[in-house]
Amino acid sequence: MIWCNSSQKMRNLPSNRCDRGKFSCYFAVVEVPISAETMSAEKTAITPTRAQDFPEWYQQVIKAADLAENSETRGCMVIKPWGYGIWELIQQQLDRRFKATGHQNAYFPLLIPLSYLEKEAEHAEGFATECAVVTHHRLEAVKDPQTGKTKMIPSGELAEPYVIRPTSETIIGAAFARWIESYRDLPLLINQWANVMRWEMRPRLFLRTAEFLWQEGHTAHETQEEAIVETRMIHGLYEEFLRDHLAIQVVAGEKTENERFPGADMTLTVEAMVQDRKAIQAGTSHYLGQNFAKAQNISFTGRDGTTQHAHTTSWGVSTRLIGTLIMAHSDDDGLVLPPRVATQQIVILPITPKEDTKQAVLDACQALAETLRHQNFQGDPIRVHVDTRDVSGGVKKWDWVKKGVPIRIEIGPRDIETRKVCVQRRDQPSMAKEFVDKEEFIRSASDLLGQIHQSLLDRSTAFRDANISVCTSIEEFDAHWSKENPGWLYTAWAGTPAEEETLSKQHKIAIRCIPVPHANLPTGLKGAAGDKCILTGRDAVSYVIWGRSY
């Protein structure tokens, strides 16, 4: 491994902002193969750095990678090709898993009659009311006689307004009520890929937007037991997906009653820790009991001939996953993509200093790309791009650094002679490079992608583990939350919902979850947390994780 000096001018090419930023790696608690000293004088491709201003860094990473942007529709984003490509891969890979576990896709109306929500409101407290309401079905064009401009006026008022689905339990439940007659129709296992809309007051690209893309699973079962098995199975599927596809080690757990989805009897969650040590709820799986079934009359004739209400579940992940992976992995040089969801996994950069060797280099690059495309990584052909743009090598390199491509390959005239390629890994410092025998690289490309995945996952796990502390004293607990970027606390708990709410509001925190028994947490946490509730001193009923969140 050879360490080079950074080509400082290149890093900031797009914005021309070259402010010197102190490098302070959030991953510092983990062993990282760069010393803080070496890097402190470095310029970074993203300004500000994570340490300087994490929220602004996040916006700048998105901008530099060309993932998405705000639109003129309030709170709604435009997902640009590089960002949408990530979503397509997430969709494709999750969809396979859903189908492999017996689910089928379907599509339900975007607009929900108000009467459906009224029915639900009778049964479930506290569901969201910030949603887009359609009240008219026509526009009338009126010419302003003074300016000559055309104005559009809503007309054709609807007798019953509709809302744009914030989630589809009600409208899918109505379909389930029509479809299910007998226990033979169960289980009914449906998933929908769709856009949904919630009128968010403080939108933030990917993490919280008015419109977002998601999948929502909705299932109906004969018994409570089967529905709970489904809820847990999907919970496990999400945990695995985050780990094996997004390289994020989450904490899988159950929400407390306070934090449950309105109308659910049980909400399971996967909580990701990102680099400012906040939590992001990355996916949820709800057991809805018979609550929605009763509200919507989803009933069936049981094996014993009696009419029974179905037990239903719902579960989902959204484009929020993209925000999560950005905040989890990216660094001060921009996006870092886990290989499985990288639109391009390998980018080949032809280095063509002289006209007479240019074609040979381009040919070598295209040939290598074709060879690599016939290799598989995790069952899919490796995705390879050759950047033939007529711009300098430095510009190309930094574009792909900022876009987070896992492996960059440079090939110049000399490399053709020596049969080597220059390999650069996005999980290592941007200036690190290694010259590798070309055939050897072809043989090991898939392994290398696997190693990059593993190194991101190891980092994510180590960072998470280093930032979950056990706490047994309420004084320490109270003091903890005034720290900058406090990590999560793990405590014994026996408080009431009201006590939980008071404590949460006091510190702007929440119980993120009650980790499930098999949660892959550092050993010894539970023992160290004692057996008395951190707040009340009562005998512990559960062990919980507290944290700030997005």
Which residues contact a second copy by CB under 8 A?
A: 69, 71-73, 76-81, 84-85, 87-88, 104-114, 116-118, 121-122, 129-141, 149-152, 154, 156, 161-164, 171, 174-175, 178, 190, 194-195, 197, 199, 211, 213
- Residue with smaller CB distance to a second copy, 131 or 533: 131
In the complex with a second copy, the residue whose CB is nearer, 139 or 479, is 139
Sign of the torsion angle spanned by Cα atoms 32, 36, 37, 43: positive
How far apart are CB 144 and a second copy at their closest, in Å? Answer: 10
Q: Of 94 and 534, which CB lies nearer to a second copy in the complex structure?
A: 94
Q: Which is nearer to a second copy, 118 or 531 (CB)?
A: 118
Position 350, amino acid? P
Residue whose CB is less far from a second copy, 10 or 171? 171
Tokens of 408: 């960059």
Q: Measured from the CB of residue 149, what is the shortest distance to a second copy in angstroms?
A: 7
Structure tokens at 274: 């990102």
Q: Please name the amino acid found at residue 501.
A: E
Tokens, residue 1: 């491994």
φ, ψ of residue 290 in degrees (nearest 5): -105, 15
CB-based contacts of 95, cutoff 8 Å, min separation 6 = 105, 191, 193, 215
Cβ of 136: how many Cβ atoms within 10 Å? 13
Work out how close the CB of 101 gets to a second copy at its nearest, in angstroms, rounded to a whole number: 15
**Min separation Cβ 184 and a second copy, Å:** 9
Say how many CA atoms lie within 13 Å of 52 toward its Cβ.
16
Of the pair 173, 547, the CB lying nearest a second copy is at: 173
d(CA 306, CA 182): 10
**Residue 154 C-beta: closest distance to a second copy, Å:** 4
User: Position of tokens 């933030």?
Assistant: 204
Strand 376-377 versus strand 380-381 pairing type = antiparallel
CB of 168 to a second copy, least distance (A): 11
Q: How far apart are CA 521 and CA 545, in angstroms?
A: 11
**CA dist., res. 213 & res. 226, Å (int):** 28
Q: What is the nearest approach in angstroms of a second copy to the Cβ of residue 126? A: 10
Provide, rounded to whole angstroms, the least separation between the CB of residue 296 and a second copy.
Answer: 12
- The β-bridge partners of 490 are 470, 545
Nearest distance, CB of residue 108 and a second copy, angstroms: 5
Question: In a 10 Å sphere around its CB, with 0-12 CB exposed, 13-18 middle and 19+ buried, how is residue 34 labelled?
Answer: middle
Provide the minimum distance between the beta carbon of 173 and a second copy in the complex, in angstroms, as a whole number: 12
Could you tell me the smallest distance in angstroms from the CB atom of residue 198 to a second copy? 10
The nearer residue to a second copy, 20 or 389, going by C-beta atoms, is 389
As a whole number of angstroms, the distance between CA 82 and CA 121 comes to 40
Tally of CB atoms within 10 A around 109: 14
- Cα–Cα distance, 152 to 384 (Å, whole number): 48
Between residues 194 and 545, which has the closer beta carbon with respect to a second copy? 194
- Give 112 or 452: the residue with its C-beta nearer to a second copy: 112
Distance (Å, whole) CA 38 – CA 246: 30
CB of 539 to a second copy, least distance (A): 39
64, 335 Cβ separation under 8 angstroms = yes
Nearest to 247 by CA among 30, 459, 65: 459
Distance of CA 130 to the CA centre of its chain: 23
The residue among 214, 234, 216 whose CA lies nearest residue 226 is: 234
Distance CA 413, CA 432 (A): 20
Residue 407 near residue 345, CB atoms below 8 Å:
yes
Nearer to a second copy, 195 or 371 (CB): 195
Q: What is the smallest separation between the CB atom of 100 and a second copy, expressed in angstroms?
A: 13
Q: What is the CA radius of gyration of the chain?
A: 26
Two structure tokens written together for 512? 């993120």
